[in-house]
Structure 1
């Protein structure tokens, strides 16, 4: 049976979330309608909001449902900048949604201040402190809770304290972190989360927004979601997201240990089979996502490794981005200081709630098939 080891891109749907979705899809009515059918849909939507809020640790009113993580990030970055103006403090290695949202406000007049990250893709608090002092007109700071490619976790409480002390709103992209490690909505103005990363359905996410957060809506119409996200929300998708989130955080510590064990076994096998494999990102432990295994393989091409593993029945990713059919090197790895040649050998293997020892067995059995890719011209 093929092994799915690309959970960082989107994990498998949890049975409880699938059941909740199937049942809720039978509810007819627009949550904004005042008749009984509309109010039944509204009740489902508000139940989802309350359950997701409890799972993430915020007030229900702070949950603004979106179509996914990308929309949540765009609302946070563009909406905050339009409300405040000024500079956007942007660390290296951010997700494309954040980078391109920053570029969008740059075309509207924002000044983008690039912040360097270290060799593990971590933003040092000292770097942010210096930037905040040098940029008194900063509109916002945006940072990953955990890097989606190499798995490194940032020290969000320290970064949040600095931003709060400078009076600058902080947006945290917690899409890769929420449901995988403890994630607190504490000391930040906005936080983006996504359903598909933790076992819920695709097509739904949320932006957590403080009552006092300075933010302007991007979508206009009926004024749903506190006036920040107009459009008829899907109560069924929202409820399935909330159910998946509840399950993801219910036994987080034990699940972290289990998934980290799978990752560490896979890493040992990779190092034994591929002497040129170098782990990228923080060392396994509290500074790294438990399910993330990102390596570069000297003398290999990541795309070739991916295709050979796929042919052997193992699905992984390279960590590079494919845009309009043209593969480009990972901006994350380049921001970490890797050379272009080193970045070409990237391979990301990621584990999730449905991963098992059999998946690791399949990966280790497939590693000998990579031999043809280990002598890249």
Structure 2
């Protein structure tokens, strides 16, 4: 057992807030009704779902009726991309979709799957910070373009996209705009009444809520073809008996996240993020921040590439020191290929293999960061000493 444990993998999942667990607990036991039943227990469950829908909507300043609960953020992405593309094609609007090279697999794979179903798609490049150019988006729009899906903020490199400008381009051309805000919702302020977005994806477990529950904001008047069929729950867009405990948990997590944002927690985290980044870059030579910096980066997110070594080795030695992080490199899942996100930003294969993502939570302290800054440099030195690439430089 190490002297200290520091969890820095909050982009993968967060710890469920105890207040969220407390809110969920009764809906596993004494309040176990099906929200579609008309009796007392059903009405009790329906009221809880309605409350959670209002709480979740308030986080992004949406109307409750515009929030659809799904089984995950990935499912919400699938519903948005496939559901909109099919509905628009049925109306004769066209069958061309635009996305970016750094989207989450849930969106990118949905677009590519639609490509096998007779749709056409364009994948926009990004710059070295992982940013999509609004001008490039405008140039890619065709008369038959119906849908654009570009994520709000990237999970691997933390870059926040110019969503307002991208959405304005879509509005000018009458193109529907979806954004995957799974990493952003609950961590930065989002107002769908101000932003020109038509659909927006969220997930509870990225904001201290439970796993297995997502949500899709669908602007009023947008028509989607459902990807799940059955009893017609969730306004006919997501059949299946509602997961009441998880929905209640999502609502409570959203309520807590909104209060935290209103109190300026994102600014506090951003200051610690910058302290962390400066410490890593100053203590470890030939290390580079990946993604954007400052206001263009998620407040809790840091990510680096460390030359001459691989992410997997860093993860194992950090784990032994009680520091829990992740690598942007897919080699940790058995692939020899580095992250497609990092390659899209212009990194070469060898450098991209040395990626590391360390993402904080509101519970992370300066002492935690100082501990990492103490343990991390010797780990890099040890791995570089064994690296044939470093010894040959």
Which TM-score band applies after superposition, normalised by the shorter structure? Answer: over 0.9
| Structure 1 residue 183 corresponds to structure 2 residue 193 | no
Match of residue 174, structure 1, among 163, 168, 181: 181
Matched, 1:272 2:282: yes
Partner SS, residue 144 of structure 1 = coil
Deviations 1:39-82 (A, max 9, x none): 11111111111111112211111010011111001111111111
Whole-angstrom distance in 2 between the partners of 1:32 and 1:322: 45
Q: Residues 323 and 264 of structure 1: is their aligned pair in 2 closer, same or farther, counting only changes over 3 Å?
A: closer
**Out of 310, 317, 326, which is 2:319 matched to?**
310
Deviation at 1:322, TM superposition (A): 5.7
> Where does residue 6 of structure 2 map in the other structure?
3
The counterpart of 1:299, out of the listed 296, 304, 308, is: 308
Q: Does 1:142 align with 2:146?
A: no
Q: Which runs of 5+ in 1 are unaligned?
A: none
Q: Where does residue 52 of structure 1 map in the other structure?
A: 56
Q: 2:43 matched to 1:39?
A: yes
Deviates more, 1:147-156 or 1:356-365: 356-365
| Pairwise CA distance, 1:129 | 0.9
Residue pair 1:106, 1:112 contacting (<8 A) in 2 also: yes
Kindly provide the CA deviation profile for residues 230-289 of structure 1, in whole angstroms up to 9, marking residues without a partner as x: 001112211111111111121326211221222222222212331011011112x21111
Over the aligned positions, Cα root-mean-square deviation in angstroms equals 1.5
Structure 2 gap segments, 5+ residues each: 90-94, 389-393
**Structure 1 residue corresponding to 2:107, chosen from 91, 98, 106:** 98
The 3 A distance-change label for structure 1 pair 324 and 352 is closer
Range with bigger deviation, 76-85 or 257-266: 257-266
Runs of 4+ in 1 over 6 A off after TM superposition: none
- What is the match of residue 210 of structure 2? 201
Contact 2:288–2:306 (Cα < 8 Å) also in 1: yes
Aligned to 2:92: none
The worse-fitting range, judged by mean Cα deviation, of 258-267 and 294-303 is 258-267
8 Å contact from structure 1 (residues 295, 348) kept in 2: yes
Distance 1:97 1:66 in 2: 14
Q: 1:1-377 residue pairs with structure 2 within 5 A?
A: 1-26=4-29, 27-85=31-89, 86-132=95-141, 135-185=142-192, 186-252=195-261, 254-283=264-293, 285-321=294-330, 325-367=334-376, 368-375=378-385, 376-377=387-388
Q: Counterpart of 1:191 in 2: which secondary structure?
A: strand
Alpha-carbon distance between aligned partners in 1 of 2:311 and 2:239, rounded to the nearest angstrom:
41
Spell out, residue by residue over 1:21-56, the C-alpha distance to the aligned partner (whole angstroms, 9 max, x if none): 113323111111111111111111111111111122
2:329 and 2:354 in contact (8 A); partners too: no
More displaced stretch, 123-132 vs 323-332: 323-332
Q: 1:365 is paired with a residue of what secondary structure?
A: helix
Shift of 1:169: 0.6
Q: Which moved more, 1:190-199 or 1:317-326?
A: 317-326
Provide the C-alpha distance between the structure 1 equivalents of 2:25 and 2:102, rounded to a whole number of angstroms.
38
Deviates more, 1:320-329 or 1:13-22: 320-329
Task: Output the TM-score relative to the length of structure 1.
Answer: 0.96
Of stretches 159-168 and 182-191 in structure 1, the one that deviates more from structure 2 is: 182-191
**Deviation of residue 97 (structure 1)?**
1.0
Answer whether contact 1:309 1:370 (CA < 8 A) is retained: no
Are the aligned partners of 2:312 and 2:331 in contact in 1 as well (CA < 8 Å)? no
Whole-angstrom distance in 1 between the partners of 2:276 and 2:197: 35
8 Å CA contact retained: 1:301, 1:374:
no
TM-score of the pair, normalised by structure 2: 0.92
